[in-house]
Amino acid sequence: MNDLNGKKILVAVSNRGVEQDELTVPLQRLRSAGAEVTVAAPQPGEVETLVGDWEPGDRVPVDATLADVDDSGYDLLLLPGGTLNADALRLDENAQRLAKAFASSSRPVASICHGPWLLVETGLTRGKTLTSYLSIKTDVQNSGGSWKDQEVFRCPTDGWTLITSRNPGDLNAFVGAIDAELSAEARPSLPTHPQPKE
């Protein structure tokens, strides 16, 4: 992990049903790298995670509510998965507002597993290429997005970057891509695609 001191990450989740490792692993690694990570949910208190969408998992403190958090100071929006979490979050007007705010201001969004459901709901997958949990492939395609079966995929089209992964097994690549994205902001930008030959 690179030094992420000074970087601020906003994690948007519901209060129940987040896939445990998709929340706790990025939290631990990104905070250990020096990033300030804020967990925002509809209600104050705790996030009740699940393991495999079924077994009770760890409880994670909520730092701010989705309604009250000011997104303007954050460098990246992180959307963990978990079926119950993602299904509830895509209908949350404050979560929708936050996702649109990051995309419209050209700030990156990172989403794993069922997390892209929020992006489907807000129309942000149109024209983007991404991956996700296999069961929402059709939703992504029906929303105008292109789907790839890769452990991590970075799509910079439409003026904002989307980083996606498929499931908890991809977390090393997912967190690594977030780390690289935030670290790159401090360095001169490099072309994402090969430049056309003269």
Q: Give the catalytic positions in this structure.
A: 113-114
Residues in the chain: 198
Integer angstrom CA distances of residue 182 from 3, 129, 135, 161, 192: 9, 20, 29, 11, 15
Chain-centre distance for alpha carbon 132: 11
**What are residue 114's phi and psi, to 5 degrees?**
-85, -5
Q: How far apart are CA 79 and CA 22, in angstroms?
A: 9
First to last CA, the chain: 37
Show the CA angle centred on residue 109, arms to residues 108 and 113, nearest 5°: 150
User: Is beta strand 146-147 parallel, antiparallel or unpaired with respect to 129-130?
Assistant: parallel
